[in-house]
Amino acid sequence: MIDVRLLRIDPDGVRVSLARRYKPELLEQLDVAIALDVQARQISTRRDDIRAKVNELSKAVGLAKRSGDEAAAEAAQAESRELGAEEHALGAQADDVQNELREVLLRIPNLPHPDAPDGGGDHENPLVKGPIQMPESFADHRRVPHWETAAELGILDSERATKIAASMFTMQRGAGASLARALCQLALDRNADVFEEVRPPTMVSTSTLTATGHLPKFADDAYAIERDDLWMIPTAEVPLTSMYAGEVVDESQLPLRLMAYTSCYRREAGSAGRDTRGMLRSHEFDKVEILALATPEQSPALLTELVDRAEGTIASLGLPYRIIEICTGDMGQSHHRSFDIEVYAPGCDAWLEVSSISWFADYQARRADIRFRRAGQKGTEIAHTLNGSALAVPRVWAAIVENFREPDGSVIIPDVLRPYMRGLERITA
């Protein structure tokens, strides 16, 4: 969440920054948060005054008793009891207001980076690189949707996936399953030089999902296991971010680089009938996530590094791609600055987002209470977090099937994946 001190020090600056998100209701929420913070501080001041008065009365009681003035002592004690009851009531009121303030702050999004492009929606996201590896034209045999090719080759069985689970679940078979696994192994291997591999739980607590900004706003998009107060992760970003929740890390340990290959689960609420064929949008999918925990000074270079790493993996597959920067009106809840990598799928005739790389500044770490201590300095600071999709399987899988389809309906395996495909170079029926 944003630092509550900013509401006191620079409320106008926060208002200007939030206005760049093109959502007027956010400014209303900001006004509520500012009012609640003022109320909380007023209650705290009143409670402190009462505590000071109670301390004075305690001393007065002692003096009166030593001097033998029992009446004065009893009067001071009676006044102290009344003030004590008022202090208790103010304490409960302060807790209520602080809880209400926290709930409002949890719903207010991050402040955009000054260099993030202004825009009201995804139609205003600027192109920053590409298209790259884009042919002048595509032959007709590559203009076939991947779900048709996959069905002919027997590598995607959505009907049986629906039978054993529900609609919008997919099941790769044979070489299709091998291709999905190979993509994840490629992403892990390409980042293993500096990223520590982690296999985190794929079920997490409410507080863990709250730390990354997915709760409370995106509760409808997450799968909840209410009996155990657990949630299925929508991305490995969630458990990786909270690994150091409530901890203080030495500056010398930063940046911490972590990566994880997990299944991810999303309800895709409101997406029925939209991009739901084949592998474009599903409730469960595999993804390799890369994440960094850093100081503020390290973060800009790390953002560039994460974008370069995700781009390098896509480029190595030989897919046509481009990079866009996310404008302020299209940013996610926690994003400070964000870039997307998209690949072109000729069968769908669409650019598909395959990786999102984001810098969250201190927004997530503040929610998770992740701090670091600078060498030789007292106190601690809130860390910064960054993450990105090193590779998400479904749309990359689909783009490969479409871009590398041959006239006979077979699919050529990209060279970089062949070491993971048990020697297979082509997928045939």
Based on the domain organization, do 150 and 280 belong to the same domain? Answer: yes
Boundary (domain end) residue, out of 107, 140, 162? 107
Question: pLDDT, tens digit, for every residue of 160-188?
Answer: 999 999 999 999 999 999 999 999 999 99
Neighbouring residues of 149: CB distance < 8 A, sequence distance ≥ 6? 347, 401, 402, 405, 409, 411
Render pLDDT for 16-75 as a digit per residue (tens, 0 to 9): 999 999 999 999 999 999 999 999 999 999 999 998 998 888 888 888 888 888 888 888
pLDDT tens digits for range 331-377: 999 999 999 999 999 999 999 999 999 999 999 999 999 999 999 99
Instruction: Say whether pLDDT at 117 is over 80.
Output: yes
pLDDT of 191 reads 98
Pairing of strands 248-250, 371-373: parallel
Q: Does some domain include residue 327?
A: yes
* Predicted local confidence at residue 60, as pLDDT: 85
Return d(Cα 351, Cα 258) in angstroms, integer: 29
Phi/psi at 423 (nearest 5 deg)? Answer: 85, -5
Residue with token string 């009365």 = 57
Across the range 253-261, mean pLDDT stands at 98
**pLDDT value of position 274:** 59
Percent of the chain with pLDDT over 90: 85
- Asked if residue 410 belongs to a domain, the reply is yes
Average confidence (pLDDT) over 425-429 = 95
Q: Which residue has the higher pLDDT, 124 or 69?
A: 124
Q: Verify that 11 and 149 share a domain, yes or no.
A: no
Q: What is the pLDDT of residues 327-337, one digit of tens each?
A: 999 999 999 99
Neighbours of 62 (CB within 10 A): 12
Band (pLDDT 50/70/90 cuts) for residue 272 is low
128 shares a domain with 26: no
Specify the CATH number for the domain of residue 85: 1.10.287.40
59 burial type by CB count under 10 A (0-12 exposed, 13-18 middle, 19+ buried): exposed
Query: 194 falls in which pLDDT band (50, 70, 90)?
Result: very high
**Do residues 140 and 179 share a domain?**
yes
User: Is the same domain home to 352 and 383?
Assistant: yes
If you average pLDDT over every residue of the chain, what do you get?
94
Of the candidates 244, 240, 255, 158, the one whose C-alpha atom is nearest the C-alpha of residue 199 is 240
Residue 271 has pLDDT above 70, yes or no: no
Assigned domain for 264 exists: yes
Is 90 exceeded by the pLDDT of residue 84? no
Question: Strand 196-198 to strand 256-265: parallel, antiparallel, or no bridges (unpaired)?
Answer: parallel
Domain that holds residue 41: 4-107
pLDDT number for residue 273: 55
pTM of structure: 0.91
Count CB atoms within 10 A of the CB of residue 41: 13
**Cα distances (Å, whole numbers) of residue 410 to 140, 169, 399:** 14, 24, 14
80 plus 218 within the same structural domain: no
The total domain count for the chain is 2
85 and 182 belong to one structural domain: no
Domain boundary among 107, 140, 165: 107
Same domain, 164 and 90: no
**The pLDDT value given to residue 172:** 96
Compute the average pLDDT of residues 99-104: 95
Average pLDDT over every residue of 90-95: 92
Does one domain contain both 126 and 99? no
3-state SS record for the chain: CCCHHHHHHCHHHHHHHHHCCCCHHHHHHHHHHHHHHHHHHHHHHHHHHHHHHHHHHHHHHHHHHHCCCHHHHHHHHHHHHHHHHHHHHHHHHHHHHHHHHHHHHHHCCCCCCCCCCCCCCHHHCCEEEEEECCCCCCCHHHCCCHHHHHHHHCCECHHHHHHHCCCCCCCECCHHHHHHHHHHHHHHHHHCCCCEEECCCCEEEHHHHHHCCCCCCCHHHCCEEHHHCEEECCCCHHHHHHCCCCCEEEHHHCCEEEEEEEEEECCCCCCCCCCCCCCCCCCEEEEEEEEEEECCCCHHHHHHHHHHHHHHHHHHCCCCEEEEECCHHHCCCCCCEEEEEEEEECCCCEEEEEEEEEECCCHHHHHHCCEEECCCCCCCEECEEEEEEEEEHHHHHHHHHHHCECCCCCEECCHHHHHHCCCCCEECC
Residues 390 and 303 in one domain: yes
Taken in order 146, 152, 156, 157, is the CA torsion positive or negative? positive
For residue 402, give the CATH number of its domain: 3.30.930.10
Q: What is the pLDDT of residues 1-19, one digit of tens each?
A: 999 999 999 999 999 999 9
Question: Are 217 and 335 within one domain?
Answer: yes
Among 107, 131, 164, identify where a domain stops.
107
- How does residue 222 score in pLDDT terms, banded at 50, 70 and 90? very high
Q: Is residue 112 in some structural domain?
A: no
Q: Are residues 263 and 341 in the same domain?
A: yes
- List pLDDT tens digits, range 196-214: 999 999 999 999 999 998 8
